[in-house]
Amino acid sequence: MDFTIQNALVPFDTGYQEVDVQIQAGRITAIGSSLTVIGTAIEARNKLLLPGFVNAHTHSSEMWQRGLVHPYPLELWIGELYDFVPLEPEQVYLSALGTAVETLLTGGTTVVDHLVPIPGLEMETVAAVERAYREVGIRAFVAPLLQDESLPASLPSGGYEVSHPPYIRNTATTLELIQAVVDQFHRPAEGIFVATAPTGMQLCSDALFEGFGALSDRYNLCRHTHLLETKAQQMLAQEKYGCSAVEHLKHLNFLGPRTSLAHCVWLTDRDIEILAETQSTVVHNPLSNLRLGSGIAPVLKYLQAGVNVSFGCDGSASNDSQDLLEAIKIGSILHNVTDLDYRHWISPRQAVEMAALGGAKGLGLADQIGTVEVGKQADLVLYDLKNLSLLPRTDPIGLLVLGRPTQVVDSVWVRGNRVVAEGQVTTVDVGQLQQQLFERSQWTYNRQSSSVPQMEAHYRAVMGLPE
């Protein structure tokens, strides 16, 4: 559908201007004052128009464990998380719907889902999230989280056992699985992408990284993985490789302009130089890093070194939400305490650019989305500047990033299709989704993990904590 957004407030280098934006065949064709109306006219006076943000790292199926997992560091948190995994694809479908809806209503038009497949139902799991994202209309990168090593391998000097369901396949079987996923579901022209996404160096062999890299090159796929989220992973990399994980991934040719790396908390200065040299992207997940005690990623150092940085919510069991605006706010101001030189701090406009264009760069889509610009695809969001949480009138982007905006998204377009209008998702019945999530879950109190006790003694010894 062709349409013209009229009188929208758009940020420019010199401030803001009220402009009209013409969209034809899903692309922005003109920006200016008093343009001739093409197609449907949409009045946007007193509304801020921004490019859609990218939720550059999440795990949709974790919605079923939201608010449930105890305060643990990552290595123990995973042990408890895997005791509560979804048991059927329909649950995964509903959680992907919820993830997409929350992303849209907080300014996101693209989601990168590091999806945890159900053992034995891997293709059905991918089909479930693909169906959900198509129905909602969000742009989606489906990145099945795959590994070929067992959980004890994720800690230095592993040797304990765990009883959670196996997520392990051998390397050849894992590569066959991702090949099947690509063949069946990779449809970029339809807004559904598949990315190769090994879990992380702590649970993947070199052969798996190399196989995923080769597949990525063959089909021009994005690559996505966890990287040095915790101190334990930094220690493991030295034990496993005799060098940093970043140096090792460079040696495996896994880094590059189409590679995005979630967390990146425990990197050295040399690691940062390598990310800049390879044009790899860091996905900053501030809320889960705080929730799991992983640390504060040196984002200001990344930016000063020229590393591209985007934002992610991470999964709903480690955040515990999919509110992109919250992640952007915390991910901006958190770093003011890491550097006394305020000239290095992240401004609201810079944060918006990181969330939109930074996310697009990490997915190889900087020429397609990430800015309000003629020729770009119409992934656009209108924010209601008369909403109480965006008043009184000061700096619109400052209010959006630094404030506590609630229900401020008026309209969202993805690839020129309007998926939110007047604050309501138009493509799926959100009320019905709420009812289904409520009916298919139950209140859970003081549930003790069966896996954490098996891991805890070893973790505490490795980390030098008292018994």
Task: Match 């559904």 to its residue by tokens.
Answer: 192
Supply the pLDDT for residue 444: 72
Three-state secondary structure call for residue 321: coil
The model's pLDDT over 3-15, given as tens digits with 9 standing for 90+, comes to 999 999 999 988 9
pLDDT of res. 162:
58
- Block residue for tokens 């377009």: 413
Does the structure show a pLDDT above 90 at 211? yes
pLDDT at 441: 87
Q: Is 183 exposed, middle or buried (0-12, 13-18, 19+ CB in 10 A)?
A: exposed
d(CA 282, CA 113): 16
Q: Is the model more confident about 333 or about 445? A: 333
Angle between helices 452-462 and 74-81 (to 10 degrees): 170
Q: What pLDDT does 167 receive?
A: 62
Whether the predicted pLDDT of 305 surpasses 90: yes
Mean pLDDT of 157-171: 65
Report pLDDT digits (tens) over 347-358: 999 999 999 999
Structure tokens at 119: 């053992």
Confidence band for 207, pLDDT divided at 50, 70 and 90: very high
Beta-carbon neighbour count of residue 85 at 10 Å? 18
pLDDT at residue number 69: 87
Query: Is 96 within 8 Å of 58 (Cβ atoms)?
Result: no
At residue 448, the pLDDT reads: 62
pLDDT tens column, 380-403: 999 999 999 999 999 999 999 999
Residue 232 near residue 75 (C-beta atoms within 8 A): yes
Residue 216 has what pLDDT? 98
pLDDT of residue 379: 98
Q: Is the pLDDT of residue 268 over 60?
A: yes
- 383 vs 454 pLDDT, higher one: 383
Q: What are phi and psi of 446, to 5 degrees?
A: 55, 40
Region 313-341: mean pLDDT is 96
Rounded CA separation 169/196 (Å): 16
In the chain, the percentage of residues whose pLDDT exceeds 90 is 84
What is the pLDDT at residue 297? 98
Task: Say what the pLDDT of residue 28 is.
Answer: 98
Average pLDDT, integer, range 23-27: 98
| Average of per-residue pLDDT values in the chain | 94
What is the tens place of the pLDDT at every residue in 90-125?
A: 999 999 999 999 999 999 999 999 999 998 899 999
Higher pLDDT, 155 or 269: 269
Q: How far apart are CA 296 and CA 263, in angstroms?
A: 9
Please indicate, yes or no, whether the overall pTM of this predicted structure exceeds 0.85: yes
Whole-angstrom Cα Rg for the chain: 22
Domains of the chain and CATH, by start: 3-50+376-428 (2.30.40.10), 52-362 (3.20.20.140)
